[in-house]
């Protein structure tokens, strides 16, 4: 089963982005540092490579991600042609201020009064594009919210008279072929709640974090105080333990697993569990090797999918 979530306005956004790409010198792709591969939209590469534009990949929300995993991703992306990658937190004003100088280095032939540097910010929903725009421009030009697809229209601004920047609405591709990508995106709130069931996403997240960050989970939920051995637990056990620890009960006396799932996801999204990443270049390569589907098949399937049949708000 592949997760499908493609709000109607994204078809329009994709067409507009394709048009704008012609008059763009470089692409700034904003990724979620906790899931840099899952949060990469393959359609962005298709548009960018068609016009042969270089890219800056921003691994945003680095304040929430595991620094070792982020470094591994930076090494991985920086080895790719026509690509520069940096990790930062757009919430820190100082971090975003470094970006214009990096962009000028990527496109040395632009960035003058005669030939201003035209940058296009792209990325899936909720990765922090609007936060980045606001930080770059030092004023609130874009609406920020921890819900996917807040931004609906493209907007262009001058940073000064040598650089301009265009913000695009968060764009998904029509079909997320790897189920684990869908869950990672849902956990990070890049796709809407109507596309997934919170309990499924929380169980996926719990299993993932138990593998890589048992000590952080133990510390957050005081599992040893409940005489539980975190190394012997699976995702369902962990969510059960959280429900009991917090006494989340329904009116009928059963444990409220829906409320527990939402609380666990909220902890992950806010960083309350600690700095964690859900994938590394190594885990990604393993997942791809296990899966029978190649990335080429994904984009073919996406292109074949009729947008109108799987739109969901
Ligand atoms: N911790 C942390 N949160 C961030 C960072 N950047 C953005 N956020 C939060 O992430 C959420 C989404 O940010 P937006 O800037 O609205 O994301 P967007 O990519 O413009 O979203 P869409 O409009 O849906 O496309 C908001 O709650 C932001 O406060 C960051 O670097 N660190």
Q: Per-residue confidence at 303, pLDDT binned at 50, 70, 90? A: very low
Q: What is the ipTM of this complex?
A: 0.98
Taking 80 as the threshold, does the pLDDT of residue 147 lie above it?
no
Mean pLDDT confidence for 62-91: 96
pLDDT in the model for residue 57 = 98
Taking 50 as the threshold, does the pLDDT of residue 309 lie above it?
no
Nearest to 99, CA basis, from 116, 114, 115, 85 = 85
Taking 90 as the threshold, does the pLDDT of residue 305 lie above it?
no
Buried b (16+ CB within 10 A) or exposed e, 254-270: ebbbebbbbbbbebbbe
Ligand 1 atom closest to 167 (CA) = 20
Distance CA 119, CA 28 (A): 7
pLDDT in the model for residue 140 = 77
Query: What angle separates helix 198-212 from helix 214-221, to the nearest 10 degrees?
Result: 120
Does the C-beta of 189 come closer than 6 Å to ligand 1?
Answer: no
Mean pLDDT confidence for 199-224: 97
Residue nearest to atom 24 of ligand 1 (CA): 149
Does the C-beta of 131 come closer than 6 Å to ligand 1?
Answer: yes
Q: Among 44-58, 147-161, 209-223, where is mean pLDDT lowest?
A: 147-161
Taking 60 as the threshold, does the pLDDT of residue 65 lie above it?
yes
Higher per-residue confidence, 182 vs 140: 182
pLDDT in the model for residue 118 = 96
Binding-site entries: 60-63, 126-131, 170
pLDDT in the model for residue 121 = 95
Q: How far is CA 51 from CA 21, 46, 99, 221, 225, in A?
A: 7, 9, 22, 49, 58
Nearest to 138, CA basis, from 151, 161, 157 = 157
Ligand 1 atom closest to 169 (CA) = 25
How does the average pLDDT of the chain come out, rounded? 87
Does the C-beta of 240 come closer than 6 Å to ligand 1?
Answer: no
Mean pLDDT confidence for 48-74: 96
Nearest to 181, CA basis, from 279, 85, 263 = 279
The continuous run of DSSP H or E covering 159 comes out as strand 155-160
Taking 70 as the threshold, does the pLDDT of residue 18 lie above it?
yes
Give tens-digit pLDDT for 223-255.
999 999 999 999 999 999 999 999 999 999 999
Mean pLDDT confidence for 15-23: 90
Distance CA 172, CA 40 (A): 9
Does the C-beta of 141 come closer than 6 Å to ligand 1?
Answer: no
Antiparallel, parallel or unpaired: β 163-167 and 117-122: parallel
The continuous run of DSSP H or E covering 297 comes out as helix 295-304
pLDDT in the model for residue 16 = 87
Under a CB-based contact definition with an 8 Å cutoff, are residues 200 and 263 in contact? Answer: no
Q: Which of 126, 137, 170 best tests ligand 1's pocket when mutated (most atoms within 8 Å of CB)?
A: 126
pLDDT in the model for residue 307 = 39
Does the C-beta of 13 come closer than 6 Å to ligand 1?
Answer: no
Binding-site entries for GTP: 60-63, 126-131, 170
Q: Per-residue confidence at 145, pLDDT binned at 50, 70, 90? A: low
Residue owning tokens 């296990």: 290
Distance CA 187, CA 205 (A): 7
The continuous run of DSSP H or E covering 155 comes out as strand 155-160
Residue owning tokens 């292109």: 303
Residue nearest to atom 9 of ligand 1 (CA): 128
Does the C-beta of 125 come closer than 6 Å to ligand 1?
Answer: yes
Q: Among 124-128, 172-176, 236-240, 268-272, where is mean pLDDT lowest?
A: 172-176
Compute, in angstroms, the gap from residue 242 CA to the centroid of ligand 1: 27
Q: Among 66-70, 87-91, 140-144, 183-187, where is mean pLDDT lowest?
A: 140-144
Distance CA 303, CA 107 (A): 31
Taking 70 as the threshold, does the pLDDT of residue 281 lie above it?
yes
Taking 90 as the threshold, does the pLDDT of residue 151 lie above it?
no
pLDDT in the model for residue 68 = 98
What domains does the chain contain, in order, with CATH numbers? 9-173 (3.40.50.300), 179-295 (1.10.1580.10)
Taking 90 as the threshold, does the pLDDT of residue 128 lie above it?
yes
Q: Among 4-8, 23-27, 222-226, where is mean pLDDT lowest?
A: 4-8
pLDDT in the model for residue 120 = 95
The continuous run of DSSP H or E covering 77 comes out as helix 67-78
Does the C-beta of 89 come closer than 6 Å to ligand 1?
Answer: yes
Compute, in angstroms, the gap from residue 313 CA to the centroid of ligand 1: 19
Q: Among 7-16, 73-82, 85-94, 153-162, where is mean pLDDT lowest?
A: 7-16
């Amino acid at each position: 089963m592949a997760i499908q979530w493609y709000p109607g306005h994204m078809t329009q956004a994709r067409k507009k982005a394709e048009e704008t790409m012609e008059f763009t010198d470089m692409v700034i792709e904003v990724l979620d540092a906790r899931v840099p591969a899952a949060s990469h939209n393959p359609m962005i590469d298709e548009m960018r490579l068609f016009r042969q534009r270089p890219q800056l990949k921003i691994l945003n929300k680095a304040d929430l991600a595991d620094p070792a995993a982020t470094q591994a991703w930076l090494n991985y992306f920086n080895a790719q042609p026509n690509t520069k990658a940096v990790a930062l937190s757009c919430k820190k004003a100082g971090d975003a201020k470094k970006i214009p100088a990096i962009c000028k280095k990527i496109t040395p032939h632009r960035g003058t009064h005669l030939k201003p540097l035209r940058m296009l910010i792209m990325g899936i929903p909720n990765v922090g594009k609007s936060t980045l725009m606001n930080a770059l421009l030092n004023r609130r030009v874009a609406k920020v919210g921890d819900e996917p697809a807040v931004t609906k229209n493209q907007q262009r601004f001058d940073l000064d008279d040598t650089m301009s920047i265009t913000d695009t609405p968060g764009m998904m591709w029509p079909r997320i072929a790897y189920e684990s990508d869908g869950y990672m995106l849902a956990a990070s709130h890049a796709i809407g709640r109507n596309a997934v069931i919170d309990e499924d996403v929380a169980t996926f997240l719990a299993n993932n974090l138990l593998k890589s960050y048992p000590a952080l989970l133990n510390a957050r939920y005081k599992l040893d105080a409940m005489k539980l051995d975190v190394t012997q637990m699976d995702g369902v056990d962990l969510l059960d333990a959280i429900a009991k620890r917090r006494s989340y009960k329904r009116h009928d006396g059963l444990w409220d697993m829906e409320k527990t799932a939402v609380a666990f996801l909220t902890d992950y999204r806010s960083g309350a569990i600690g700095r964690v990443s859900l994938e590394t270049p190594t885990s990604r390569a393993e997942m791809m090797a296990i899966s029978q589907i190649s990335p080429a098949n994904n984009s073919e399937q996406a292109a074949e999918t009729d947008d109108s049949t799987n739109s969901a708000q």
